Amino acid sequence: MTDYAVVNPATGETVAAYDTFTDAQIEDAVARAASAAVTWAATAPADRAAVIRRIAELHRERKDELGAIIVKEMGKPIAAAVGEVEFAADIIEFYADNIDRITADQPIDIAGDGTAIIRRAPLGPLLGIMPWNFPAYQVARFAGPNLAIGNTIILKHAPQCPESSAMLEAIYEDAGLPDGAYVNVYATNDQAATIIADVRVHGVSVTGSERAGAAVAEVAGRNLKKVALELGGSDPFIVLSADDLDAVVQNAVDARLDNNGQSCNGAKRFIVVDDLYEEFTSKFVAALAAVDAEDPTEEDTVLGPLASLAAAERLQEQVDRAVEQGATLLTGGTREGAFFAPTVLADVTPDMDAYREELFGPAAVVYRAADEDAALEIANGTPFGLGSYVFTTDAEQAERVADRIEAGMVYVNLVLADSPELPFGGVKRSGTSRELGLLAADEFVNKKLIRRA
């Protein structure tokens, strides 16, 4: 059975295909992860850190090869693909650098005599179900903190990422992990459910769509397994005031086109106060219309194809439906194969599907807001709550708006500012947990109380 394949979205060519694992291979992967969990958990944190640091080094040494594979698998521009691998290395290195903080005992002030501490202990093998949009980065932010804690990793990547997932497995193995501490599997959804149900597996993390998250959470719930969910987003970009509107517009363009518009926390809804709306929209539309979707293998390419023809067709259907329901198309709305022109919609109202949907690609919606309260009403008017962006010259207003936004992350007067130490995650239908930062290392851990007389 061949579910895993590299289909170059820029050309439509099927480059290579790989058979899914047999049930026997799945059993072997779980058994190896369970066996390695004993060895890896017993390894001193300093020794774990040395291996994890080597994983980061190998990412950097092999960034060009892995970046080229990512371009071939999902169409990311080559400069961004190599940058993704470098960022993955930074993330992994962060957990090596902070392993003492991650694993340190936490004293508790108690009533009465004696002492009490919280000791963080690994749970054991974990299943990670990863998406195609960031093939290296997503793995790093799941594997990095959990390997630091002492857990082992079974990694099911997206079916369109078989070669990057295999190369990542080689990187983790070559760094010196015990056999089975990181295992890549080409698994079907049914096999993934079997892994989740296995008594030797103690948790599952999934990054993907709401549908995928709900399906995994259902299986995990039936089997009483811890589940971490990082799902979709329709992040608001709120413009309330500006000293330099051109700079704000450039931030808006950068935030929308990042990763070919296929970032869960990419700005997608641009909410602008009335007195800036016309000028912002005119400049924003002109800036996006000037960007062409081009060959992702070229170093200066800003926008490549969507990750697949199906993704482009899905976005086309959403844009067309929005126009049919009364939205105004200001630019774009067309595609050639998987290449989608930068697109801006206006006049989207709450009775339209586009008001609540996530547009996963280089398509933006602009909204006019009468004032701060109206902007917040629009910003919070979706089922999502991942990230958000606020642009204002008023520091007090920034604090006030940040408090009122229903999101897991708020960035004030900047975009594309993710960093290894900053926690990543959302609320509402955008997820249930946190990745990156020290909080990520608290997701799959036994916070064991030890009370002494």
Beta partners for 228? 205
Q: Which amino acid is at 281?
A: T
- Say if residues 43 and 144 touch (Cβ distance below 8 Å): no
Distance, CA of 68 to CA of 58 (rounded, Å): 16
Element (DSSP H or E) covering residue 48: helix 45-61
DSSP output for 374-428: HHHHHHT-SSEES--EEE-S-HHHHHHHHHH--SS--EES--S---TTS-B--EE
Distance, CA of 182 to CA of 131 (rounded, Å): 17
Residue 105, pLDDT > 90, answer yes
DSSP 435: B
- Say if residues 2 and 162 touch (Cβ distance below 8 Å): no
Which residue reads 């993710």 in tokens? 418
pLDDT in tens, 258-306: 999 999 999 999 999 999 999 999 999 999 999 999 999 999 999 999 9
pLDDT in tens, 117-157: 999 999 999 999 999 999 999 999 999 999 999 999 999 99
- What percent of the chain shows pLDDT beyond 70? 100
pLDDT in tens, 306-337: 999 999 999 999 999 999 999 999 999 999 99
Catalytic residue numbers?
230, 264
Q: Which amino acid is at 278?
A: E
Q: Which domains does the chain have, with CATH numbers?
A: 4-231+431-452 (3.40.605.10), 235-419 (3.40.309.10)
- Say if residues 117 and 104 touch (Cβ distance below 8 Å): no
C-alpha pair distances (Å), 218 with each of 165, 212, 222, 383, 385: 26, 10, 6, 19, 21
| Confidence (pLDDT) at 195 | 98
pTM (two decimals): 0.96
**What number is the average pLDDT over the span 223-235?**
96
Distance, CA of 104 to CA of 46 (rounded, Å): 12
Residue 1, pLDDT > 60, answer no
DSSP output for 222-237: HTT-EEEEE----EEE
